[in-house]
């Protein structure tokens, strides 16, 4: 059952083992929240444009890409979203449109020579029986970029993507790339923020200490059928945890 881990799996395990159990042992997928659907639509828009740029093919125009982003969001709405009180899909669509413009006008024009878009790594790790899986948003010579749609500035040291993407790329090319978050800030007037980071060997070693500890704990938890809930963080609330009704909110 446990043959590979991805950064998002590990982050979920760190937040709450019961969330991880529902998602990866029970296979219970929950519909995305409105903000997750906005983020996915923006990522899809970036991929739509950059995949053509990587291939040297004719790129979709900005207006086609804007439309593509909105269509992706509407499609997610048709499939079903995890709607919370106060969610307004019309407002969310307007917000996404404004953020999409920032992506198209300020971020993507600077990524002139991408070498890969949505590249999947599936690494077997020496001396380990669990592999590492990751998908990078966009790669260039000497750099990996990750798109984010958020109101906050992400901290590269408190997230796993920067170190995992750095490691994957290093394994493939033998060179340690720089890492950049392309953050489209979800503000009243959206703007682009770039957060640059360069992972060190110590960051990579620390990541693998976390990886090994997570694998050890996961194997024992699966064997024992015992997963530890973590009700102590912001994620353990009706509005943030998609498994609330299966867990803390059950029978309420
Ligand atoms: S409700 Fe809280 S304890 Fe239960 S799965 Fe969600 S985060 Fe974990």
For ligand 1, mutation pick of 15, 16, 25, 232 (most atoms within 8 Å of CB): 16
Nearest C-alpha neighbor of 146 from the set 136, 156, 159: 136
List the residue whose alpha carbon is closest to atom 2 of ligand 1.
236
Nearest C-alpha neighbor of 138 from the set 46, 62, 58, 60: 46
Please tell me the number of Cα atoms within 13 Å of 204 on its side-chain side: 14
Nearest ligand 1 atom, CA 16 = 8
Question: Cα torsion at 70, 74, 80, 84 (round to 10°)?
Answer: 60
Tokens of 71: 């269509």
Given this model, what pLDDT does residue 251 score?
74
How far, in Å, is the centroid of ligand 1 from the Cα of 194?
33
For ligand 1, mutation pick of 11, 237, 247, 251 (most atoms within 8 Å of CB): 247
Given this model, what pLDDT does residue 85 score?
85
Nearest C-alpha neighbor of 188 from the set 62, 103, 91: 91
Given this model, what pLDDT does residue 239 score?
84
Helix (H, G, I), strand (E, B) or coil at 74: helix
24-124+135-215 placed in CATH 3.90.320: yes
Structure letter (DSSP) for residue 109: G
How far, in Å, is the centroid of ligand 1 from the Cα of 236?
5
Given this model, what pLDDT does residue 84 score?
85
Nearest ligand 1 atom, CA 244 = 1
Q: How far apart are CA 81 and CA 186, in angstroms?
A: 19
Q: 18-27 long-range CB contacts below 8 Å, 24 or more apart? A: 18/227, 18/228, 18/229, 18/230, 18/243, 18/247, 19/235, 19/241, 19/243, 20/218, 20/227, 21/221, 21/227, 22/243, 22/246, 22/247, 23/243, 25/1, 25/222, 25/227
Write out the chain's pLDDT in tens, 252 residues.
799 999 999 999 999 999 999 999 999 999 999 999 999 999 999 999 999 999 999 999 999 999 999 999 999 999 999 888 899 999 999 999 999 999 999 999 999 999 999 999 999 998 899 999 999 999 999 999 999 999 999 999 999 999 999 999 999 999 999 999 999 999 999 999 999 999 999 999 999 999 999 999 999 999 999 999 999 999 999 888 999 999 999 877
For ligand 1, mutation pick of 11, 12, 19 (most atoms within 8 Å of CB): 19
The helix (H) or strand (E) run that includes residue 130 is none
Given this model, what pLDDT does residue 220 score?
97
Tokens of 96: 């996404």
Pocket of ligand 1, beta carbon within 6 A: 16, 18-19, 229-231, 235-236, 241, 243-244, 247-248
Helix (H, G, I), strand (E, B) or coil at 135: strand
User: In the structure, how many helices (H) and strands (E) does the chain have?
Assistant: 7, 6
Name the pTM for this structure. Answer: 0.94
List the residue whose alpha carbon is closest to atom 3 of ligand 1.
229
């Amino acid at each position: 059952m446990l043959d590979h881990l991805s950064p998002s799996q590990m982050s979920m395990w760190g937040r709450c083992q019961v969330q991880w159990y529902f998602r990866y042992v029970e296979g219970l997928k929950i519909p995305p929240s409105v903000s997750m659907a906005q983020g996915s639509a923006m990522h899809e828009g970036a991929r739509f444009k950059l995949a053509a740029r990587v291939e040297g093919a004719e790129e979709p125009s900005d207006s086609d890409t804007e439309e593509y982003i909105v269509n992706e969001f509407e499609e997610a709405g048709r499939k079903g979203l995890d709607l919370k009180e106060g969610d307004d899909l019309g407002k969310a669509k307007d917000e996404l449109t404004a953020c999409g413009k920032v992506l198209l006008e300020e971020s993507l024009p600077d990524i002139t020579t991408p070498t890969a878009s949505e590249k999947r790594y599936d690494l077997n790790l020496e001396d380990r029986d669990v592999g590492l899986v990751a998908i990078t948003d966009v790669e260039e010579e000497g750099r990996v970029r990750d798109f984010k749609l958020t109101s906050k500035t992400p901290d590269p040291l408190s997230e796993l993507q920067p170190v995992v993407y750095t490691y994957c790329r290093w394994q493939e090319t033998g060179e340690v790339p720089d890492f950049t978050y392309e953050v489209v800030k979800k503000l009243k007037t959206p703007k682009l923020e770039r957060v640059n980071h360069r992972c060190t060997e110590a960051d990579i070693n620390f990541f693998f200490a976390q990886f090994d500890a997570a694998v050890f704990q996961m194997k024992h938890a699966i064997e024992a059928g015992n997963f530890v809930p973590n009700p102590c963080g912001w994620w353990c609330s009706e509005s943030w945890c998609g498994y609330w009704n299966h867990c803390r909110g059950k029978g309420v």
